[in-house]
Structure 1
Amino acid sequence: MPETSQDPISLTDPIDQLPLRLLRSEIVPPAPSRSNSSIDWLPDFAGYSWLAYGASSLLVVSHLPSPLRGEDSANGPLFRQILEVSGDVSSPVTAVSWSPVTPSVGELAVGSGSYVRLFARDLSDLNGSFCWSQSAVLVQETKVEAIEWTGSGDGIIVGGIDIVLWKRRNQSWEIAWKFPGDYLQDLVSSTWSFEGPFASAASWSKFPSECDEAEDIHDSVETGGCRAVCRTRGEISEECSDDVLFGWGCKVMV
């Protein structure tokens, strides 16, 4: 009679596998912040696409399988890191923006309270894994509502009660100019360089009632104080031609 084969699993004594290595518990982030500016997507860094978003006072950086790549579409996220940004739930993450520089180095700007915190991949990690750490903190006087990098990565435009342009100087950052707005500017846009034009605007939810009740754009400019602003040769002026007045409450900086 042939000898019955035994299951190889049963031959493994679990006692021989002890002590088991303890894995560090992972923070489960709350729901993402509702702000439209608190999430951003990076199409390509180190051969993968990435998503970064705010969740209360936390920043979540995650690999995001791209539907544009057939080999990624069937895979789930292979990496996720959760970073404590402010440590204060009363100062949630309000803005997140990846640097668009190509090839990407994984730089990320995060707004929380009156701070813009910069994160970059930690190249000192000897395990060869992805790991982001804080590289700089930019402090301003007013709350951050929106952030956008310049295309070359040499500047960051910040929207809020004040519109602030930060420019990179070697390994540090400094304020290039600052302009106080009449209303909260939670939409910002930049061009290639900090020396180029910028635009900021208030979203519909931020408009004062007098702008909503205006019959047309010119009425809103006269009665509601929503106006265009130009910046030329380092000087800020409200003497703009009609062709730059592209939206209610807009501020155009050239």
Structure 2
Amino acid sequence: MNHLFNRVAVAAIAVAFAGEAMATEWNVSLWGKRRAFTEHVEKLAELVSAKTNGEFTLNISYGGLSKNKENLDGISIGAFEMAQFCAGYHRDKNPTITVLELPFLGVANLKEEVAVARAVYAHPAVQADLARWDAKLLMTSPMPQYNIVGTGDPRATLESMKGMRVRATGGIGKAFKAIGAVPTSVTATETYNALESGVVDTVAFAQHAHLAFRTIDKAEWWTENLNPGTVNCPVVVNTDAYAALSDSERAALDGSVDEAIAHYVANYEVL
């Protein structure tokens, strides 16, 4: 009887460990803090967990896994399974998606931003470009047109922007450079200190970032209709991790993207 009990106990433990082994946990590398810019990832985690009864979870880290400029590198070596990055942080590593950061594209709203990004992400050349880093494009992080805040005298004309030290990346930075400004590509998390210390005197951000990174607190003036463009910041997954998902897990992930993006856009529109 004791032998039978022991066999049953061992079998129960084995089943328990097997159940634990079947659960899938992904680490997700973001930066800063939870804000409008990350709400689609937060929603995605919520939806995926709900659809899989907690068997597939996304563990979101804000800066604990990697620096924002190193997220694509982390994906390429499998340091984590999902990450967000901005194309302008390393244009040479993802040249094809920098087309979305060209200035004055005329994209009117976030829904158009999503549609344009999806069309670009679906192009075979873009997918091959990101595949060099073992990265699969999952969804975009649509952002509205940028505007600038600054210190000192307002820059009300193009002429007055000559010599302006502006935090701006990608195509926006090139546009400012073309009129004589001096673009600087400090990261979002470094920008407040750069503005406070005088490394830059103006900052180009989307609305949520001026609020989240408190540049508006240091501003003496700002623009509301400059609209020089925006940056493109995709959410990507490691291709090996994606391939290792079960069919149901993959369906839960892919099937949650549209709802996550819709939540992001709706949340942004009430800011």
- Mark yes or no: TM-score above 0.5: no
By percentage of residues, which structure has more strand?
1
Larger RCO (CA within 8 A; separation ≥ 6): 2
CA radius of gyration, larger in: 1
Alignment TM-score, normalising by the size of structure 2: 0.28
TM-score normalised per structure 1: 0.29
